[in-house]
Amino acid sequence: MSLATRTHDAPMTSTHKSRLEAAAATHTGRRERNEDACLVDPQHALFAVADGMGGHVGGAVASSLAVETLRGFYERGDDAAPILQCGCWGEPSPGQRRLDMAIRLTQRAIEDAALGELKEMGSTLVALQFSDDLALVAHVGDSRAYRLRDGELVQLTRDHSLIQALVAQGSAKLAASLPARYQGVITRSLGPLGDSSADFSTVDTRPGDVFLTCSDGLSGVLEANDIASLLGHGSASEASQALVDSAYAAGGSDNITAVVVRLS
């Protein structure tokens, strides 16, 4: 079955000392519908991927609510570049507090809509916010963010998943032996069920860095060296398309979404 892939390109935009080129691609994979959603907002240097879950239509509703609520929050605010430098005594930066508030609003939006057949819907979320020489990373669930620098790929997020929790507790062998039905279990998500708190981190950026946010339909299929190779060549549009195409060709059965941001 042939399934269309959608690509969204963003024009170059200024973040003071760096310039961004961003693009996104998504594919239904071998599922009946695409329950992933993505945000490419060059005006606010904000980029995100959401991976929905929750039955017949719930996943698509939840992921769309996540990115549209996030988009709306920043569109209603001012266009000043966010301050990502941490405050005194390690307090969250103003930019982190702002993104945290936006994510809390997405949580509320999904909760309020979780009625009837949508009562068990939820979504992961991973977001990147750029300003000056910094990037703020936020995530809930197992959608990931990566940075490629000088050929070295670094994962910037730690999955909120059953497998990662077992690994963190020193039970890597148990994690590796889990039946397939447990391998996709996540421990945090936006929605009415469970923990919805986001983790935040701030990393430095340099010209030449390439950032990726993606759903687990991509990260669960491609090896790190394959991701690094595909990220390192071509434009953001070409890289995002190549990543999604490669994950599908490798047998990816889930929805596949990639947002690539290249700094120059």
Q: Hey, what's the torsion of the CAs at 59, 76, 138, 149, to 10 degrees? A: 110
CATH superfamily assigned to domain 6-263: PPM-type phosphatase domain (3.60.40.10)
Q: How far is CA 242 from the centre of its chain?
A: 17
pLDDT class for 242, splitting at 50, 70, 90?
A: very high
Summarize the confidence of residues 33-41 as an average pLDDT.
Answer: 96
Going by the DSSP 8-state scheme, the letter that residue 184 receives in this structure is T
- pTM for this model (two decimals): 0.90
Average pLDDT, the chain: 88
Q: 9-18, 25-34, 69-78, 178-187: which range is least confident on average?
A: 9-18
Q: pLDDT at position 186, please?
A: 84
pLDDT class for 174, splitting at 50, 70, 90?
A: low
Count of other CB atoms within 10 angstroms of residue 56: 11
Q: pLDDT at position 261, please?
A: 98
Q: 2-11, 147-156, 177-186, 188-197: which range is least confident on average?
A: 2-11
Q: Does residue 115 register a pLDDT over 70? A: yes
Give the chain's count of helices (H) and strands (E): 8, 12
pLDDT class for 3, splitting at 50, 70, 90?
A: very low
Going by the DSSP 8-state scheme, the letter that residue 186 receives in this structure is B
pLDDT class for 180, splitting at 50, 70, 90?
A: low
Q: Does residue 10 register a pLDDT over 90? A: no
Helix ranges restricted to H, the chain = 58-76, 94-113, 162-168, 172-176, 180-183, 216-219, 224-231, 236-249
